[in-house]
Chains A and B, each alone.
Chain A
Amino acid sequence: MTTSLFLVQLINGLQYGLLLFLIASGLTLVFGVMGILNLAHGSMYMVGAYLVWYFFEHTGSFGLSALISAVIALLVGVFMERTLIRQLYRRNHLDQVLLTIGMIFVFNALQSILWGNDPLGVAVPPSLSGAIPMTDVLEYPIYRIFVALLCVLIAGVMYFMINKTRLGMLIRAGESNREMVECLGIDIRKLYTIVFAIGVMLAAVAGVAAAPMSSIVPGMGEHILITCFVVVVIGGMGSIKGAFVAALLVGLVDTFASVMVPQLSSMMIYILMAFILLIKPQGLFSS
């Protein structure tokens, strides 16, 4: 492998990893704070992609469509928490799995009814449609670099929010001792609603960002969900920092494995996961 090809693959891996982080962060946030294992998280990624396609068809503006989609996802998140997820707090993980798997079917059926089963696509917004030449043949699309930077920005905002703001303090407090937070007069139910809605929105935003560089198809959520779980498990369930490191690891391993050990490439991230769990059974940064 030449140096330039190595660099290109490095960028490929980082970019894929950052997108994985954006999807996985919501999953791990909700699990860490609320103890809820949301299997329907991948569905929200799918919903984000379909929403931005739908509004783009009607408004013609990607930015506006992205904003509307994010707001709708936030509202869907509030609705889901208030009506369904709320029933689960005092129940075991199996009940959570049953309900959230059921939600996957509901979202898939809705997608099929509302938007059909044909593969769909969204064009890259014109202001971000250029490319940077890398080698004689290869270019790197500006949009993909933009998405990578957006993911870094969101990671930064999340870090700041959790560590430096009052909301973040409550989130951290709720994580370690729910009863004590309630005793101090904090409405933990409101906090949970906010956290769950943010988690849903993060998945949807990832779907929105991925839409112009992928195909919008039924089942796209389930496929990404499995990879996200690998990220969350490697990083340590509930750890945002862990999810960030793990997402980059998974992105890089998957990219380099694809070209260096193609026969094993579909297994490599699972081998990585098994290896890390052998050394650190709770994941890299378990809380």
Chain B
Amino acid sequence: MIKPNTLRTAVLAGLTSLALGQTAVANTQAPIKVGIMLPFSGVYGALGDATRNGMKMALQEKASELHGRKIEYIEIDTEARPERAPEISSSLLNNSKADFIVGPVHSGVAMGMMKVLRGKDTVMIVPNAGAGPVTGPLCAPNVFRTSFSSWQPSYPMGKVALDKGYKKVVTMSWNYGMGKESLDAFEESFTAGGGEILKKILVPFPKTEFQAYLSEIASIEPDAVFVFFAGGGAVKFIKDYDALGLSGKIPLLGSGFLTEGTLEAQGKAAEGVMTTLHYADSLDNEINNRFRASYKEQFGKASDIYAVQGYDTGLMIASAINRLGGDIEDQQALIKALEETRVNSPRGEFTFSAAHNPVQNIYLRTVENGENKVIEVAAPALADPARGCKL
């Protein structure tokens, strides 16, 4: 006679083996889970949308190269709030068992994600946040970045400024990670070449009352001004700079985010502003032209750099799945495949550094008729120095 206890054990065992059996099958046929941690509301909402659209577009285009694996997306709105990042990350890691976790836009959120995801059994791919530590002191085998390090877009501008004959410069940005890292990178190449920083102005984030600072800059009369601002702050800054009569008298230089996605709102005030960045909408190559046309057709609005970075993230994931024949269970092999990826990006082909950050061209652009026109490659195949990274 079977005791109830034994019976229960037997049933449980049966169920467990059944469940296990299913998982074993699932490993090769179940969808690949891509967790998305992006801001879909608030100040960075537009950036999150564009990144997601770009990534899905790439994975859609490459659907035939995924060896039959379907992609399942789990999307979570980070609201660009760093304090929420650890909780969402661990939910995607432990509950959803995401194979890839793509995010975020905001550097603060990136640091929160790193805390939870470094060295874990998933691959984190950063499609925007430029925080230096992600591919610097905190770099990890399972963490990649498809965008840029904050050092990259700003470093080449130091040399550009010297070539233009600017010797004394005032720098200015918000007092937060990305801003300070951008100013430091500019200062590094600018002072190495003999330039002098007359004053470094750090504005409390997210304050946009710039008039007092600009009045001070006007009284200092530097050869040029280098700034980091983005989004709404960039619009306000450019408008104030022009309204107070500084444009045309003191050349304005910046990290490219100063004039990304903001030109329409900035209007005539942005004409002549020079920036360095790893992309420009007007880049004339076949992939970029095709990408822009196809994005516009699918989503009904013009693509931007965030869409490109999302697109490249999708390309990278697709390429690794393809090369592993659809089996991404072995994390070592997956990381190796990702490291070796050459991304045929709309920004031009790029590879990855040992620290998992793109090795990419940085372009010098100037605003002409409401568009970022590429003047030249300011720094070809530029790699982040990845200070403090042991990979």
Interface residues of B in 36-56 (CB under 8 A from A): 41-43, 45-46, 49
* Bound-complex Cα distance A138 to B218 (A): 6
B31 part of interface (Cβ distance < 8 Å): no
A254 contacts B265, CB within 8 Å? no
Q: Range of interface residues on chain A?
A: 35 or more
* Bound-complex Cα distance A266 to B174 (A): 12
Distance between B260 CB and nearest chain A CB, rounded to angstroms = 11
B218 contacts A135, CB within 8 Å? yes
Known: A120-B265, A215-B208. A259 touches B216 (CB 8 A): yes
Q: How many residues of B contact A (CB 8 A)?
A: 44
B261 contacts A119, CB within 8 Å? yes
* Bound-complex Cα distance A254 to B209 (A): 9
A119 contacts B208, CB within 8 Å? no
Q: Which of A16, A119, A138 contacts B235 (CB 8 A)?
A: A119
Distance between A242 CB and nearest chain B CB, rounded to angstroms = 22
A137 contacts B235, CB within 8 Å? no
Distance between A104 CB and nearest chain B CB, rounded to angstroms = 12
Interface residues of B in 216-258 (CB under 8 A from A): 216, 218-219, 221, 231-236, 239-240, 243-246, 249-250
* Bound-complex Cα distance A137 to B244 (A): 9
Q: Which segment of B87-95, B147-155, B199-207, B324-332 sits at the interface? A: B199-207
* Bound-complex Cα distance A8 to B216 (A): 9
B1 part of interface (Cβ distance < 8 Å): no
B43 contacts A217, CB within 8 Å? yes
Q: Which of B236, B249, B264 is most buried by chain A, counting CB atoms within 10 A of its CB?
A: B236
B266 part of interface (Cβ distance < 8 Å): yes
Of chain B, the residue at the smallest CB distance from A267 is: B204
0/1 per residue, A226-266, Cβ < 8 Å to B? Answer: 00000000000000000000000000001110110010011
Distance between B214 CB and nearest chain A CB, rounded to angstroms = 8
B267 part of interface (Cβ distance < 8 Å): yes
B264 contacts A139, CB within 8 Å? no
B244 contacts A16, CB within 8 Å? no
Q: Which of A116, A117, A259 contacts B213 (CB 8 A)?
A: A259
Of chain A, the residue at the smallest CB distance from B231 is: A119
A214 contacts B204, CB within 8 Å? no
Distance between A253 CB and nearest chain B CB, rounded to angstroms = 11
B211 part of interface (Cβ distance < 8 Å): yes
0/1 per residue, A100-118, Cβ < 8 Å to B? Answer: 0000000010001000111
Of chain B, the residue at the smallest CB distance from A214 is: B236
Known: A119-B261, A138-B246, A213-B239. A12 touches B215 (CB 8 A): yes
B244 contacts A218, CB within 8 Å? no
0/1 per residue, A197-217, Cβ < 8 Å to B? Answer: 000000000000000011111
Interface residues of B in 17-46 (CB under 8 A from A): 41-43, 45-46
B11 part of interface (Cβ distance < 8 Å): no
0/1 per residue, A112-142, Cβ < 8 Å to B? Answer: 1000111111011000000101011111110
Known: A215-B232, A259-B216. A118 touches B46 (CB 8 A): yes
Q: Given contacts A121-B265, A121-B267, A135-B219, could you give 19 more A-B pairs where the C-beta distance is less than 8 Å?
A: A5-B215, A112-B45, A119-B234, A119-B261, A119-B262, A120-B264, A121-B266, A131-B245, A137-B221, A137-B249, A138-B215, A138-B218, A144-B243, A213-B240, A214-B235, A215-B235, A217-B231, A223-B206, A266-B204
Interchain residue pairs with CB less than 8 A apart (11): A12-B215, A117-B45, A118-B265, A119-B232, A119-B235, A135-B218, A138-B215, A215-B239, A217-B43, A259-B216, A266-B207
